[in-house]
Amino acid sequence: MAADLTSLAAQFHAWTDERAAELAVFRHEHPSSVSDRLELGRGLMALLAADGWSLRGWPEDVGGSGGDIRERAVLYDQLEGAGIGVPEQFTVIETVGPAVIRFAPTLAKELLLPYLRGEELWCQGFSEPEAGSDLASLRCRAVATGGGFLVSGQKIWSSYGHLADRMVALVRTGSAESRHRGLTMLMVDLSGPGITRRPIRLANGEEELSEVFFDDAPVAGSSLIGEVDKGWSVAMYLLQFERGMYAWLRMARLRGRLARLARRVDPADPIGCREVGRALAAQRALRARTWHTIARLAEGETPGPETSVDKVLLATAEQAVADAARAVDLAAFTFATEDLDDARSEWFYTRAASIYGGSAEVQRSILADHVLKLPSEGKA
């Protein structure tokens, strides 16, 4: 049974007050490097798990305390509202965790709690150099052996792939012609032999993404998520959470950034005020839309192509908030001061927001074809 969400928010707010001294470091420390942010996040995850907060909304049979996805959404929102950043690790578990729970419950029982305590980090391995948006053309291959699989190939653009302990990887077990019918999902231990990882430096200077190479890397049969050659259905189930909770987490972070910008903008600065207002409108639209998607997930619905709206609104909001930060401190932003390194880094990062995870053009085409049922250009 879902908790009273208003009461839950009040209880969590009271907890942040009680634990103010211990939480101070998470309010005031803002590491610039990905590895340092993840390390800081581990400490907060351990604290949240120790008092049971991060277990809320996860199924009891895999180590959670019950409830539904809305409880997790409220807690993330309250963390940002209290000025405490949500650990980046939660974006991964919220994207891939529900699929692991549904299709590999034994794995989930073993691995979910250590993850929520900050003891593990996972990544997602879908994209390949010649298979970005078209996942059915994946080439990274897994060959069945007596006790598992040997994986060979490459994954690219994996967030935290060079730092993660495990990868939820979509690999080919059928023929190349089998397309989506020959794909399988595996939980790969990245500490094993035959695996090489390289970070990718982004335009903002950060090394968040990576490429991962597999050279006959052994993977245990117990690491199978779902069934052999049925990985496409796992991937499709997973993607609905990428649109829902991932977008909500990003929205919550934008809320915190906007609150700080609103305190700093000069009321006499028309450009700064305009950009902050525009960003606030974009963030509120994203919040309303993603909450609707999360509520549907909580009721057991399976959102379809209409969740492309969530992705379009997310990219719009992320770019609007970054543009507002630049407008508020334009001179300092342009001529580089150390205080604005994070804002500048975020601005560069958000330029790709309308590309990664499915470009805005692709999302609009999905909406046009499958939601609005518009005629194709050739038939117009």
Active site residues: 242
| DSSP reduced 3-state for 52 | coil
CB crowding 134-159: b at 16 or more within 10 Å, else e? ebeebebbbeeeeebbbbbbbbbbbb
Taking the C-alpha atoms of residue 172 and residue 169, their distance in angstroms, rounded to an integer, is 10
- Cβ contacts of residue 241 below 8 Å, gap of 6+? 94, 95, 96, 97, 98, 99, 297
Residue pair 336/195 in contact (Cβ under 8 Å)? The answer is no
Q: ∠ CA 49-157-346 to the nearest 5 degrees?
A: 70
What lies within 8 Å, CB to CB, of 98 at 6+ separation is 237, 238, 241
Say if CB 107 and CB 98 are below 8 A apart.
no
- Which residue type occupies 37? R
Q: Nearest-CA neighbor of 202 among 159, 232, 145?
A: 159
Query: Any alpha helices (H) in the chain, and if so which ranges?
Result: 5-18, 20-28, 34-50, 69-81, 89-103, 105-116, 231-264, 270-298, 308-328, 330-334, 341-350, 360-366
3 state DSSP class of 20: helix
| Contact status, residue 248 vs residue 291, Cβ threshold 8 Å | yes
